[in-house]
């Protein structure tokens, strides 16, 4: 994980099941960030969750986060909703960006579903500040950010698809992308996997090259899959078979080796260990290319060789 810093909760707003709040510096100024970035929020007891920054990157006075209370919460969103109050002190990591805007004047189409619109709101701010042209399409059953977006200077660039309205039909990205100048446009999407897949499919059908289709990296790669392989935890002297359906951490847990995890999505680096032998199939978004030769994120990675030996 990156270095952490202490911040104070400023304004807090309830938007339906979403808690939106500002994080202000306790001292000094907050590090600069760019649209698409997220921060690690340390929630106590080793619980770390990643949330996209959804304010205006030009506003250096605070970070804005918005967290949906997820009924299937593994503890993260529930902890946020229970502990975030004005004035509370929190520990966060520095912003990291796995979903940046391209540095170009090309037209941008932003398509966000549900809470997945949050990084796209930041992108819309950044594009507006740059003077770039763009359209933001926001699809949700309960479009809680509609009012927020109506009050932005770029409100005329926003289309809201309220799927909670009786008689509403499934959002189809094809008409949005068809007819765009595929060679002069970038598409950014974030939200449910099905929506992102539909956007990518429609973009390819409209003539977009892969390099112009960008999706939020969280959970983008399947954690299981492929064929099974063996893992040896060298220091523990444990050897386990990892089936195609399970993660390395799950297989090791079966054999009594507990690996510390947090995000379980390859984002935070908590589960990273040294790789002693074998070739990893890296599925994380944490390690750099250089680190990938020597380390592995056990929560999400697979193997290209039949055996991996890790320093555990």
Binding region for ligand FES (CB under 6 A): 261-264, 266-271, 284, 286, 297, 299
Distance CA 274, CA 304 (A): 16
Q: How far is the CB of 290 from ligand FES (least distance, A)?
A: 17
- Of the pair 16, 46, the CB lying nearest ligand FES is at 46
Both tokens assigned to 65: 């986060």
Closest to ligand FES by CB, 54 vs 298, is 298
Task: Using the minimum distance from each CB to ligand FES, give the nearer residue, 118 or 270.
Answer: 270
Q: Toward ligand FES, which CB reaches closer, 180 or 270?
A: 270
Nearest to 287 by CA among 310, 268, 306, 305: 268
Instruction: Count CA atoms closer than 13 A to 165's CA, side-chain side.
Output: 9
- Tell me the torsion sign for CA atoms 121, 123, 124, 125: positive
In 26-155 the beta strands, taken as DSSP E runs, fall at 37-42, 48-52, 63-68, 89-93, 96-97, 107-113, 134-140
**Nearer Cβ to ligand FES (190/261):** 261
Measure the CA–CA gap between 254 and 177, rounded to whole angstroms. Answer: 47
Contact 36, 101 (CB under 8 A): yes
Query: CB 258 → ligand FES: shortest distance, Å?
Result: 13
The least distance separating ligand FES from the CB of residue 1, rounded to whole angstroms, comes to 9
Smallest distance from the beta carbon of 37 to ligand FES, in angstroms?
17
Task: Name the residue whose CB lies closest to ligand FES.
Answer: 299
Give 180 or 249: the residue with its C-beta nearer to ligand FES.
249
Take residue 191 and report the two structure tokens written for it: 């939200």
Nearest distance, CB of residue 293 and ligand FES, angstroms? 18
Contacts of 193 (CB under 8 A, 6+ apart): 219
Nearer to ligand FES, 153 or 225 (CB): 225
Q: How far is the CB of 65 from ligand FES (least distance, A)?
A: 19
Tell me the torsion sign for CA atoms 22, 23, 26, 32. Answer: negative
Q: Which residue has the tokens 């078979």?
A: 241
Q: How far is the CB of 263 from ligand FES (least distance, A)?
A: 4
């Amino acid at each position: 994980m990156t270095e952490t810093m202490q911040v104070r909760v400023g304004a807090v707003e309830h938007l339906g099941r979403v808690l939106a709040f500002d994080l202000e510096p306790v001292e000094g100024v907050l590090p600069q960030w760019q649209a698409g970035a997220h921060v690690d929020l340390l929630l106590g007891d080793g619980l770390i969750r990643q949330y996209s920054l959804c304010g205006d990157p030009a506003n250096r006075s605070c970070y804005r986060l918005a967290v949906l209370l997820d009924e299937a919460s593994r503890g993260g969103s529930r902890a946020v909703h229970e502990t975030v109050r004005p004035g509370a002190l929190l520990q966060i990591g520095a912003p990291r960006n796995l979903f940046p805007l391209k540095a170009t004047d090309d037209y941008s189409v932003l398509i966000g579903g549900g809470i997945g619109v949050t990084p796209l709101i930041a992108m819309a701010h950044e594009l507006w500040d740059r003077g770039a042209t763009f359209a933001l399409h926001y699809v949700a059953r309960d479009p809680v950010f509609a009012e927020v977006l109506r009050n932005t200077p770029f409100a005329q660039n926003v289309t809201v698809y309220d799927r909670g309205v009786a008689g509403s039909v499934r959002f189809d990205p094809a008409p949005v992308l068809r007819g765009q100048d595929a060679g002069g446009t970038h598409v950014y999407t974030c939200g449910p996997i099905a929506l992102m897949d539909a956007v990518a499919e429609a973009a390819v059908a409209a003539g977009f090259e892969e390099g112009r289709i960008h999706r939020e990296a969280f959970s983008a790669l399947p954690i299981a899959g492929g064929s099974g392989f063996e893992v040896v935890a060298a220091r523990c002297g444990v050897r386990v078979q990892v089936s195609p359906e399970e993660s390395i951490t799950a297989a090791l847990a079966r054999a009594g080796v507990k690996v510390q995890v947090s995000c379980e999505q390859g984002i935070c680096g908590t589960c990273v260990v040294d790789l002693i032998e074998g070739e990893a199939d890296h599925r994380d978004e944490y390690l750099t290319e250089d680190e990938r030769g020597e380390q592995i994120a056990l929560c999400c990675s697979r193997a290209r060789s039949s055996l991996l030996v890790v320093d555990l």
